[in-house]
A and B are shown apart, each in its own frame.
Chain A
Amino acid sequence: MSTRKLLLGNEAIARGLIEHGCRMATSYPGTPASEILSAVADFRLKDKLGMHVQWTVNEKIAFEIAYAGCMAGLRTAVSMKQVGLNVASDPFMSAAYMGVKGGFIVISADDPGPHSSQTEQDSRMWAMMAKIPVLDPASPAEAKEMVATAYALSEKFNTPVMLRPTTRVCHSRQDVALGLPATTGAEAKFDKDPARWAAMPKFRHKLHLELEEKLAGIAAYGPTAPVRLNPKARSRKAVVASGVAAAHTREILPELGAWTKVAFYQVRQPFPLHAAFVEHLLDTYTDILVLEETTGVIEMQLADRRRVKGKQSGFVPRVGELTPERIQTLLGGFAGIRTTVASVEGAPGRRPTLCAGCPHRASFFAIKKAAPRGIYTSDIGCYTLGMNLGVVDTVLCMGASITQAAGFYHAFKHARKRPDIVATIGDSTFFHAGIPALIDAVVQRVKFTLVILDNRTTAMTGNQPTPASGFGACGEPLDAVDLESLVRGCGVKFIREGDPYQLKDFIELMKAAVAYGRESGPAVVISRRSCILDQARQSGDGDVVAVEISDQCDGCGYCLKNFECPALIHHAEDKAHLHTSIDPMLCVACGVCLHVCPKGAFQVKK
């Protein structure tokens, strides 16, 4: 039997955790990090391991739970996407001072591009600010190896260690060698030491001094030192690369005929950069090219940058992914080799859209009917795609739909014409960061309507459970929190629940809510209908309403513009016979479109 298995980068990281004795793993889902914890849960079930695996309410909570586990001497890990680290930044900064007992890995996945994120921020900058070491894997196989390195580093220097994969590592698959799951490890034991674990500012000063000493040691630690990949090349020029940029470089340099012409180093620990390496680089080379994503973190640590080309110098683009095409051009220019790269712009692809049958589409359609000229604040999740329907005006960060609605209300409250304000937020996002915002809106008597799009799951990231689901990461039964009681507990007086699939009734419900929200204070609508992807997974199909479009259709395009279901196909081939039809491949027979056509052309299939 082969011991090599096809693993997604995120699965490789999970496997590394399992094989190196991780006893607690926590996470809040977010692309490109989501599959790490799902994979840990799968391995845990398959190998019947005694460990705690948990989806938490948000990243700060995930961090603090895993951190306490390492204080008790266990190996633990927390995973999140890069903007999740912003949410967890408060404990992250302090944990750097206090250090660890058991090994503790903070996995923060970056998204250069960005492909599925609000920003291209570089988590390594957070590591630099907190003064903790960070490892930067170039491939799924290396990410798995780095988990072992990270635990060893963490325990040797009593510090949290960041593992920073990027999208191209998280979401590539590679054949990876499998080892056995670790079955032994430390038992939980907490040594009280208030001067450290509850340090007052006086002790924090001491801890900061210790941290600086640790960093100096880490910058000389052998196992994480940069690697020279082509020792035979003799040159006064050097390329220094980390992460997937190093993988691209390793493939492209030989193809350019430059493998023996330019020295090539892979940096595995971008911060703190090894002090001897910095000296060696600046002593040996007259020309240095640094390739890294997304900020010049390695570059910034090269004290004398007169001979350095990188992000800071402007030689390497500061925005967007360092694609292999970009790297080919940069390497060619740097090595003095002519190389042409064809344009990478193909025909534009399709824009993402809400799935056919997505309950959010129905909710948005109803919101538009109830408050046609409103200000629509929204949030992070699938429903950001409500933008396509013209019912999402703002998206800032997790939970901001509610606070921005409040901000708009206060901005307009003395204006002559006050717009209706309707905020949309998903159930998981509401639990994550919406609750304090709603309490604030109640206290401040903010006149707006909040629609909680309750699809019973965290859909965008692959249908992870929410606090209302009643089960955990490994499918184990858990307690569930009731959304309506929670909203009531925040002090909201107007709460209605509705099923957006019952579109006619739901529009009426929305109108009543908007009227209340406009005059009397926060109105909350819980729009409840399971995500169709989640339903398909649980194979509960629900009611099927097959719809067809009659000859009444004159191809006016109203449904396409205002309902924007991907299962609707517009036919404009024959100008005399414009019409719309339903794509049987995409249609899930939700029946919502029956109520959309102003001419009544949609009808139940006979």
Chain B
Amino acid sequence: MKTGISNVENGNKSEPVRQQILISGVGGQGVLFVTRLLAEAAIARGLPVFTSETHGMAQRGGTVVSHFKVGEFYSPLVRVRQADGLLALKSENLAQHGLFLKPGGWAVVNARDRKSLELQGTLVTVDADDLAHKSGSVKSVNLVILGFALAVAGKMKNDPDRLFCTLADIEQVVESSFGKKRKQVSAFLKAIQTGYDAFSL
């Protein structure tokens, strides 16, 4: 289901896709994995993509952030106040990377509650630790957040705020990348679905 360079679903077809997203967490949470799924989804749609990652010393339990850019870009990095969205796998990441969001940008944050979190824009929180625990894998917080973000950003009213990809795109990527490992695929899809179902307007 290649759609070429155009917005998904009812998007304005004359506007080429151009989105910048930050994904942040701490080493070991699977920030790079989420980034990878988004990037593969972009490629499957025939879109140019750039991501930038944290490796080495900084990866050992320290803060990890990836920059994700889909559409026509040349630089691998997102500048301050340019990001459309932020996925924060820990609530502390909002204070660290919230400043990358453009005015009015959206953030999906893993947090028990909204207290003490601040953002000039669309802030949505979800207790992904709890959801991941209930879905049977405490280590799947990253995928729960991704699923939740797909639900949130997919249902945004403004077209430019919609994510460039949908739940179906991500499911397709998981299938084509891990298709042979059925157990893993179903665990991944379950965690993503758990996050997706947790959001309703």
Residue positions of A touching B, CB distance < 8 A: 2, 4-6, 8, 31-32, 34, 115-116, 138-139, 168-169, 171-175, 244, 247-248, 250-252, 323-325, 328, 341-344, 346-355, 382, 384-385, 460-461, 566, 584-586
CB distance from A95 to the nearest CB of B (A): 28
- The answer to whether B50 touches A173, judged by C-beta atoms less than 8 angstroms apart, is yes
- Please name the residue on chain A nearest to B129 by beta carbon: A585
CB distance from A1 to the nearest CB of B (A): 11
Q: Which residues of B contact A382 (CB under 8 A)?
A: 60
- The answer to whether A347 touches B96, judged by C-beta atoms less than 8 angstroms apart, is yes
- Please name the residue on chain A nearest to B62 by beta carbon: A352
Task: Scan residues 42-97 of chain B and give those whose CB is less than 8 A from a CB of chain A.
Answer: 42-44, 46, 48-63, 73-77, 79-81, 92, 95-97
- The verdict on A352 contacting B53 (CB below 8 Å), with A6-B40, A347-B95, A585-B139 known, is no
Instruction: Tell me the bound Cα distance from A115 to B76 in angstroms.
Output: 16
- The answer to whether B63 touches A349, judged by C-beta atoms less than 8 angstroms apart, is yes
- The answer to whether B59 touches A4, judged by C-beta atoms less than 8 angstroms apart, is no
CB distance from B181 to the nearest CB of A (A): 13
Q: Which residues of A contact B51 (CB under 8 A)?
A: 172-174
Instruction: Tell me the bound Cα distance from A251 to B72 in angstroms.
Output: 9
Instruction: Tell me the bound Cα distance from A175 to B80 in angstroms.
Output: 24
- The answer to whether A116 touches B99, judged by C-beta atoms less than 8 angstroms apart, is no
Q: Which residues of A contact B50 (CB under 8 A)?
A: 139, 172-174
Q: Could you say which of B46, B58, B62, B74 has the most chain A C-beta atoms within 10 Å of its C-beta?
A: B74
Instruction: Specify which of B63, B73, B95, B99 is in contact with A343 (CB 8 Å cutoff).
Output: B99
CB distance from B30 to the nearest CB of A (A): 12
- The answer to whether A31 touches B56, judged by C-beta atoms less than 8 angstroms apart, is yes
- Please name the residue on chain B nearest to A356 by beta carbon: B61
Is B36 in contact with chain A by the CB < 8 A criterion? yes
Instruction: Specify which of B43, B48, B59, B138 is in contact with A584 (CB 8 Å cutoff).
Output: B138
- The answer to whether B56 touches A116, judged by C-beta atoms less than 8 angstroms apart, is yes
- The answer to whether A247 touches B75, judged by C-beta atoms less than 8 angstroms apart, is yes
Is B39 in contact with chain A by the CB < 8 A criterion? yes
Instruction: Tell me the bound Cα distance from A168 to B69 in angstroms.
Output: 14
- Please name the residue on chain B nearest to A113 by beta carbon: B58
Is B28 in contact with chain A by the CB < 8 A criterion? yes
- The answer to whether B75 touches A251, judged by C-beta atoms less than 8 angstroms apart, is yes
- Please name the residue on chain A nearest to B77 by beta carbon: A324
- The answer to whether B43 touches A4, judged by C-beta atoms less than 8 angstroms apart, is yes
Is B27 in contact with chain A by the CB < 8 A criterion? yes
- The verdict on A171 contacting B49 (CB below 8 Å), with A6-B40, A139-B76, A351-B62 known, is no
Is B98 in contact with chain A by the CB < 8 A criterion? yes
Is B26 in contact with chain A by the CB < 8 A criterion? yes
Instruction: Specify which of A8, A31, A584, A586 is in contact with B57 (CB 8 Å cutoff).
Output: A31
Q: Could you say which of A5, A174, A250, A566 has the most chain B C-beta atoms within 10 Å of its C-beta?
A: A174
Q: Could you say which of A8, A341, A346 has the most chain B C-beta atoms within 10 Å of its C-beta?
A: A346
Q: Which residues of A contact B63 (CB under 8 A)?
A: 349-350
- The verdict on A247 contacting B57 (CB below 8 Å), with A6-B36, A342-B81, A350-B63 known, is no
- Please name the residue on chain A nearest to B44 by beta carbon: A2
- The verdict on A248 contacting B75 (CB below 8 Å), with A346-B95, A352-B57 known, is yes
Q: Which residues of B contact A342 (CB under 8 A)?
A: 80-81, 99
- The answer to whether B61 touches A6, judged by C-beta atoms less than 8 angstroms apart, is no
- The verdict on A352 contacting B79 (CB below 8 Å), with A6-B36, A346-B95 known, is no
Q: Which residues of B contact A346 (CB under 8 A)?
A: 95-100
- The answer to whether B138 touches A585, judged by C-beta atoms less than 8 angstroms apart, is yes
Q: Which residues of A contact B60 (CB under 8 A)?
A: 352-355, 382, 385, 460
Q: Which residues of B contact A385 (CB under 8 A)?
A: 57, 60
- The answer to whether B28 touches A115, judged by C-beta atoms less than 8 angstroms apart, is no
Q: List 28 A-B contacts (CB under 8 A).
A: A2-B44, A6-B43, A8-B53, A116-B58, A168-B52, A171-B53, A172-B51, A172-B52, A173-B39, A173-B53, A174-B49, A175-B43, A175-B49, A244-B76, A247-B76, A251-B73, A251-B75, A324-B75, A324-B77, A342-B99, A344-B80, A347-B96, A350-B92, A352-B27, A352-B61, A460-B60, A584-B138, A585-B129
Q: Which residues of A contact B53 (CB under 8 A)?
A: 8, 171-173
- The answer to whether B76 touches A350, judged by C-beta atoms less than 8 angstroms apart, is no
User: Across chains A and B, which 8 residue pairs bring their CB atoms closest together, nearest first?
Assistant: A349-B63, A31-B56, A116-B56, A172-B76, A352-B62, A347-B95, A352-B60, A250-B74
Instruction: Tell me the bound Cα distance from A349 to B25 in angstroms.
Output: 10
- The answer to whether B77 touches A323, judged by C-beta atoms less than 8 angstroms apart, is yes
Instruction: Specify which of B27, B74, B100 is in contact with A247 (CB 8 Å cutoff).
Output: B74
- The verdict on A328 contacting B79 (CB below 8 Å), with A171-B53, A172-B51, A347-B92 known, is yes
- The answer to whether B80 touches A325, judged by C-beta atoms less than 8 angstroms apart, is yes
- The answer to whether A566 touches B81, judged by C-beta atoms less than 8 angstroms apart, is no
Instruction: Tell me the bound Cα distance from A229 to B20 in angstroms.
Output: 24
- Please name the residue on chain A nearest to B63 by beta carbon: A349
- The answer to whether A139 touches B74, judged by C-beta atoms less than 8 angstroms apart, is yes
- The answer to whether B80 touches A341, judged by C-beta atoms less than 8 angstroms apart, is yes
- The answer to whether A248 touches B77, judged by C-beta atoms less than 8 angstroms apart, is yes
**Contact string against A for B residues 98-140, beta-carbon threshold 8 Å, 1 for contact and 0 otherwise:** 1110000000000000000000000000000100000000110
- Please name the residue on chain A nearest to B57 by beta carbon: A116
- The answer to whether A6 touches B39, judged by C-beta atoms less than 8 angstroms apart, is yes
- Please name the residue on chain B nearest to A31 by beta carbon: B56
Q: Which residues of A contact B35 (CB under 8 A)?
A: 173
CB distance from A321 to the nearest CB of B (A): 10
- The answer to whether B77 touches A460, judged by C-beta atoms less than 8 angstroms apart, is no
Q: Which residues of B contact A348 (CB under 8 A)?
A: 96
- Please name the residue on chain A nearest to B26 by beta carbon: A350
Q: Which residues of B contact A250 (CB under 8 A)?
A: 74-75
Instruction: Tell me the bound Cα distance from A350 to B64 in angstroms.
Output: 9
CB distance from A347 to the nearest CB of B (A): 4
- The answer to whether B48 touches A566, judged by C-beta atoms less than 8 angstroms apart, is no
Question: Knowing that A175-B49, A342-B81, A350-B62 are A-B contacts, what are 16 other residue pairs whose CB atoms are under 8 Å apart, sorted by A's residue number?
Answer: A31-B56, A115-B56, A115-B58, A139-B76, A173-B36, A247-B74, A248-B75, A250-B75, A328-B79, A342-B99, A344-B80, A352-B60, A353-B60, A385-B57, A385-B60, A585-B129
Instruction: Tell me the bound Cα distance from A353 to B28 in angstroms.
Output: 12
- The verdict on A171 contacting B75 (CB below 8 Å), with A342-B80, A350-B62, A351-B62 known, is no
Q: Which residues of B contact A325 (CB under 8 A)?
A: 79-80
Q: Which residues of A contact B26 (CB under 8 A)?
A: 350
Q: Could you say which of B26, B44, B56 has the most chain A C-beta atoms within 10 Å of its C-beta?
A: B56
Q: Which residues of B contact A168 (CB under 8 A)?
A: 52, 76-77
CB distance from B66 to the nearest CB of A (A): 9
- The answer to whether A352 touches B36, judged by C-beta atoms less than 8 angstroms apart, is no
Instruction: Tell me the bound Cα distance from A482 to B60 in angstroms.
Output: 29
CB distance from A139 to the nearest CB of B (A): 7
Q: Which residues of B contact A353 (CB under 8 A)?
A: 60-62
- Please name the residue on chain B nearest to A566 by beta carbon: B61
